[in-house]
Amino acid sequence: MESFSKKKVIVVGAGPVGALSALYFSHAGWEVEVYELRGDLRLPENLSLNFSKSINLALSERGINGLRNLGDGGKLLDEVLAETIPMYGRMIHTGVPGEKGESQKYDVHGRVCLFIRSADRGRLNVQLLDALALKDVKLFFYHGLRGLNLDANMAEFEKISGTGERVTVRADLIIGADGAHSATRRLLQKSVRMYYEQVYIETLWQEYEIPPDEETGDFKIDANHLHIWPKKDFMFIAIPSIVCSPPPIWGHDKTFTCTLFMEQWRFDTIGESREDLLSFFRENFEEVVDLVGEDSLVEQYLNHQKLPLISIKCRPYHYKDRCVIVGDAAHAMVPFYGQGMNAGFEDVSVLFEHIKAHPNSLAYALASYSAYRMPDGHMINELAMQNHIEMRATVTSKAYLLRKAIEEALYAYVPWLGVRTMYSMVSFSNIRYTEVVNRTRRQRKWLNAAAMALLVGGIMGGLWGVNRLGLRKMGWLRMVKGWFR
């Protein structure tokens, strides 16, 4: 029988998913070492690293469940949730100053259990690293993965700081949690005939900040919503930032972290002209200009990077009993469903379910995990792409709002039908992503059929009424009957 209790695992990547992976293995009794290309985020001098250059996180049920299943009695989960802000819905803005936004609750019946949480990525990462420090886990920063000899259970790292010395480490298992541009995945491809698909979308993203109100010191807009200024082909969003301790290192006092999602050619058209920039924002996001301030808006636009968005699919996720990739390393996605980190945390939880289900064979456990999880990884990639269109355009559609209201009403008042919105199943449940899509397709077919039946019934009822009124002589009945032949 294979024993996992005294085996050694190397985790490549100390981001949120890598840190959670290390915690799971540590709680399971493994010897754990974590290797990170960048510096320790817990140190103030490292705040300018790419750790913090990411879109604010939306923590939802899948991510929460990943923390819940860690096995620490919920201690870490409680600490994380204490430093988040609930967002009960989307606030859709026209962009006109003084015009109140339209609130689209995640649950139209106001049930307080249905909300997502705004979390500061850097702060969450530190909480996970602090939890690792309490365990017998060794952390190695400024170590870049340079080679893998998986059949020999060996990994080679280069010390980025100092002399560039290379060190070789042996481990029974290597976990690749090193992000979208994963070195683990790239080296894994030398051992696995891997299907790999990478797409950069036309949209770029740029981060902004809305400061607190100067008079009150409070948020300038409602802090319990995800704010969206949709413009069909591009959009501006704002997510509340929580006050974290110890200030001023962590968090922003009553600010909003904002993102402009826009095509490259629009950025190029604006260029570096203050006049063109303000003209563009006045035309499309006039309210944002007043919230950010003209001078600050120009300063942030000129100094903040305009970064690409990547979507990655691959398979398989593993090699024998030696290596497996999780999180963005396995399925990097665009951020429009807010599921990147949530899916990564779910990866770790699901991986351990398979390890526990196959205690006699780590090779079988990894193969089982890879086969099970890959369809869900691909599916959430596609859903994230689709939600880009919904956020920037469809959220203002009357057809979208009507369908959402009908699905929510059926879920609330006729729950035995099992009708739920796709967003609700993705964000507020742990139903597999593939099953979410299958259920959504089935229920929309059923709803469409029911709507058609109601329409036909209404027409036939109307015709019966016409017949009863004795208006057959007008020939309407024969004409309409002909439509259905």
Q: By percentage, how much of the chain surpasses pLDDT 90? A: 66
Is the pLDDT score of 105 beyond 90?
no
How many Å apart are CA 364 and CA 374, to the nearest integer?
15
Residue 108 reports pLDDT greater than 80: no
CB 8 within 8 A of CB 118: no
Q: What rounded mean pLDDT belongs to the chain?
A: 86
The pLDDT value recorded for residue 46 is 73
Rounded CA separation 469/453 (Å): 24
Nearest to 132 by CA among 34, 23, 42, 18: 23
Residue 479: pLDDT band by 50, 70, 90 thresholds?
low
Beta-sheet strands, E only, within 164-234: 166-170, 173-176, 195-210, 226-230
Q: Where in the chain is the domain with CATH 3.50.50.60?
A: 8-383
Q: Which of 389, 378, 361 is nearest to 437 (CA)?
A: 378
Rounded Cα–Cα distance for residues 125 and 131 (Å)? 10
Q: Can you tell me the mean pLDDT for 133-147? A: 95
The Cα–Cα gap between 481 and 429 comes to 47
Q: Across residues 159-173, what is the average pLDDT?
A: 91
pLDDT-derived band at 483 (thresholds 50, 70, 90) equals very low
Give the residue with greater pLDDT, 218 vs 421. 218
Token representation of residue 220: 């300038």
Instruction: Render 295-338 in DSSP notation, one character per residue.
Output: HHHHHHHHHS--EEEEEEEEE--EETTTEEE-THHHH---GGGS
Helix axes 362-392, 433-468, angle to 10 degrees: 40
Per-residue pLDDT for 396 more than 90? Answer: no
CATH topology of domain 8-383: FAD/NAD(P)-binding domain (3.50.50)
Q: Residue range 32-56: average pLDDT?
A: 75
Q: What is the mean pLDDT of residues 67-87?
A: 95
Q: What Cα–Cα distance (Å) separates residue 436 from each residue in 19, 256, 354, 420? A: 28, 31, 21, 10
* CB neighbour list of residue 357: distance below 8 Å, 6 or more residues apart: 365, 368
The per-residue pLDDT for 398 is 65
**Contact (CB, 8 A) for 208 and 237:** no
pLDDT at 356 over 70: yes
Rounded distance, CA 343 to CA 350, Å?
10
Q: Quick check: 2 pLDDT over 50?
A: no
Residue 3 has a pLDDT of 45
- Whether 239 and 257 have beta carbons less than 8 Å apart is answered as yes
- Cα–Cα distance between 417 and 220 in angstroms, integer? 41
pLDDT computed for residue 461 by the predictor: 64
Cα–Cα dist 262/237, whole Å: 11
Q: How confident is the model at residue 219 (pLDDT cuts 50, 70, 90)?
A: very high
464 — pLDDT class (breaks 50, 70, 90) = low
pLDDT for the residue 114: 76
Q: Give the torsion sign (CA, 81, 430, 188, 154).
A: positive
177 has pLDDT over 70: yes
Ranking 16-25, 51-60, 192-201, 463-472 by mean pLDDT, the lowest is 463-472
Give the pLDDT mean for 209-214: 93
pLDDT of residue 247: 43
**Out of 20-29, 41-50, 94-103, 318-327, which region has the weakest mean confidence (pLDDT)?**
41-50
Average pLDDT in the 194-215 region?
Answer: 94
Q: How far apart are CA 209 and CA 252, in angstroms?
A: 9
| pLDDT, position 51 | 45
Q: Judge contact between 119 and 57, C-beta under 8 A.
A: yes
Query: Is the pLDDT at 258 greater than 90, yes or no?
Result: yes
pLDDT range class, residue 245, cuts 50, 70, 90: very low
- Provide the residue type at 336 as one letter: F
What is the H or E stretch that residue 253 is in?
none
Amino acid (1-letter code) at residue 127: Q
**How far is Cα 34 from Cα 347, in angstroms, rounded to an integer?**
18
Is pLDDT above 80 for 402?
no
pLDDT value at 334 more than 70: yes
- Burial 305-337, CB ≥16 within 10 A → b, else e: eeeebebbbbbbbbbebbbbbbbbbbbbbbbbb
Q: What is the pLDDT, as a whole number, of residue 458?
A: 64
**Residue the block writes with tokens 């526990």:** 356
- Give residue 388's pLDDT: 77
Amino acid at 5: S
Higher pLDDT among residues 464 and 145, named by residue: 145
Please state the rounded mean pLDDT for residues 201-210.
94
